[in-house]
Amino acid sequence: MKTQFEVGIIGGGIIGQSIAYQLAKEGVSVLILESNKIGNGATSAAAGMLGANSELENNDAFFQFAKESQQHYHVLRDELSQISQINIQFVDKGMYKLAMTDAEASALKDVVKYHESVEWHSKEVVLESEPTLSATIKGALYIPEDGHVSPYHVCAAFSKSARLLGATILENTPVHEIKKTVTNEYTLSTPVTDFVCKNIVIANGVWSGHFFKKLGLDAGINPVKGECLSIKSNDIGLEKTIFYDHCYIVPKGDGRFVIGATMVEDDWSTVPTIGGIQSLIEKVTPIIPSISSAQLIDTWAGLRPQPIDGKPYIGQHPEGENIYFATGHYRNGILLAPKTGLMIRDLILNRKQNEDYVKAFSVNRLQVQTM
Ligand code: FAD
């Protein structure tokens, strides 16, 4: 078994796979170590919304990064399908953010004044294209750029493409320890064997706090549990994603609708609760009254990796070690995966960076404790 690599990535979720794909494309020898199955963490729990405009409110570096990442899905759709033959199920029919009261309608109409890529649609226009919605709506903000993908398929497509381009991806191989060698490389200890890598990337989502601490940093990544359900119904015929009051309904290509998601802070359990699922059904019923006759297909829960300030850590160790962090993507890891892969690739290959992004996602915003 090969045990020496240029880059070793800890974590085989969508973030680790995106980085591995971009590096393998450049001919870099790359290893992913995944403690469980590829994409088994937060990645498979996600609804797959690419909500750059609906999730982020400030026109700052984070928003620009998210928009570029969203745009890059147009490239990846074709690229990944050509290499891996996997369809990432990219749907770009946009999103409706609903107003159910006059006050909400007026607040959403205001957004149109300073946000060029959104439009206000009256109740009549909304109901003409989405007749399943309740006639009590007041209208909606139409966000054409916020589509969705299948997170599971994106992760599988990155992974298969990276493998075909030469990456080594090992499942059921948890990294227990990172040690620096005398030649300034890093040993990643696993129950299988030790791997030696010139560069390492911490990309193990909500579990990465452990390595931050071991490397002398205090990341404060906390779990925010999210519960979802999926339904099927011949009476519901949505085209666009529907968003209202932190709740969304995403129409998937296979006829399912994914409804999510709760936000439970500091909860490490990945079992959905009756209360959580009930709260989602209660939120959706006034929007789509016909939901009560839908078939319940599945329920699940996953853990969002939430950093202290809500922004991901994408950057190098503050003391210039060849240790990189790509974690803490919180509610938007699926949206941000393409651009995260490109940015970590460029950092490792010493390519020119957008300084605004380097600053915004820097691990330097943490206090260095020891090394
Ligand atoms: P993960 O997918 O959790 O991957 C980390 C991997 O590291 C895991 O597979 C784990 O097994 C592995 N690992 C852990 N420890 C070790 C170790 N010591 N050694 C080796 N491997 C290890 N984002 C969006 O953009 N759009 C959405 O619509 C959306 N909806 C969401 C809905 C829910 C309910 C949830 C929970 C999240 C949602 N997200 C969404 C957020 C998104 O899922 C995450 O931000 C993203 O999946 C994080 O990816 P990741 O690769 O960092 O983490």
- Our answer on whether the CB atom of 249 is closer than 6 Å to any ligand 1 atom is no
**3-state secondary structure at position 124:** helix
Residues 3-25 pLDDT 10s: 999 999 999 999 999 999 999 99
In single-letter form, the type of residue at position 65 comes to F
Do residues 298 and 177 lie in contact, with contact meaning Cβ atoms separated by under 8 Å? no
- Residue 220: pLDDT above 90? no
- Our answer on whether the CB atom of 331 is closer than 6 Å to any ligand 1 atom is yes
The three state secondary structure string of 45-102 is HCCCECCHHHHCCCCCHHHHHHHHHHHHHHHHHHHHHHHHCCCCCCECCCEEEEECCH
For residue 219, what pLDDT is reported?
Answer: 72
Closest C-alpha to 328, from 342, 338, 340: 340
Please report the atom of ligand 1 found closest to the CA of residue 304.
Answer: 36
User: 354 alpha carbon to ligand 1 midpoint, in Å?
Assistant: 25
Residues 88-112 pLDDT 10s: 999 999 999 999 999 999 999 999 9
User: 233 alpha carbon to ligand 1 midpoint, in Å?
Assistant: 29
Confidence of residue 366 (pLDDT cuts 50, 70, 90): low
- Residue 321: pLDDT above 50? yes
- Our answer on whether the CB atom of 322 is closer than 6 Å to any ligand 1 atom is no
Residues 290-300 pLDDT 10s: 999 999 999 99
Confidence of residue 58 (pLDDT cuts 50, 70, 90): confident
In whole angstroms, give the CA distance from residue 284 to residue 150.
Answer: 22
* Beta bridge pairs of residue 327: 313
Q: What is the mean pLDDT of residues 304-316?
A: 95
**3-state secondary structure at position 326:** strand
- Residue 145: pLDDT above 70? yes
Q: What is the ipTM of this complex?
A: 0.99
- Residue 54: pLDDT above 90? no
- Our answer on whether the CB atom of 328 is closer than 6 Å to any ligand 1 atom is no
Peptide bond into 261 cis (omega under 30): yes
Closest C-alpha to 328, from 356, 360, 361: 361
- Our answer on whether the CB atom of 228 is closer than 6 Å to any ligand 1 atom is yes
Q: What is the mean pLDDT of residues 51-56?
A: 86
Confidence of residue 367 (pLDDT cuts 50, 70, 90): low
Closest C-alpha to 288, from 331, 240, 228: 240
For residue 368, what pLDDT is reported?
Answer: 45
- Our answer on whether the CB atom of 40 is closer than 6 Å to any ligand 1 atom is yes
Percentage of the chain exceeding pLDDT 90? 90
Q: What is the mean pLDDT of residues 175-182?
A: 96
Confidence of residue 136 (pLDDT cuts 50, 70, 90): very high
User: By alpha-carbon position, which residue is closest to atom 34 of ligand 1?
Assistant: 226
Mean pLDDT rounded to a whole number for the chain: 95
User: By alpha-carbon position, which residue is closest to atom 48 of ligand 1?
Assistant: 333
φ and ψ of 188, to 5 deg: -105, 115
User: 326 alpha carbon to ligand 1 midpoint, in Å?
Assistant: 11
- Our answer on whether the CB atom of 338 is closer than 6 Å to any ligand 1 atom is no
In whole angstroms, give the CA distance from residue 202 to residue 322.
Answer: 11
Percentage of the chain exceeding pLDDT 70? 98
Q: What is the mean pLDDT of residues 147-172?
A: 98
User: 26 alpha carbon to ligand 1 midpoint, in Å?
Assistant: 25
For residue 55, what pLDDT is reported?
Answer: 81
Q: Is 119 exposed, middle or buried (0-12, 13-18, 19+ CB in 10 A)?
A: middle
User: By alpha-carbon position, which residue is closest to atom 30 of ligand 1?
Assistant: 46
For residue 370, what pLDDT is reported?
Answer: 40
User: By alpha-carbon position, which residue is closest to atom 12 of ligand 1?
Assistant: 11
- Residue 155: pLDDT above 50? yes
- Residue 53: pLDDT above 60? yes
First vs last C-alpha separation in the chain: 31
Q: Write down the residue that tokens 């309740």 correspond to.
A: 134
Residue 341's Cα: distance from chain center in Å?
12
- Our answer on whether the CB atom of 15 is closer than 6 Å to any ligand 1 atom is yes
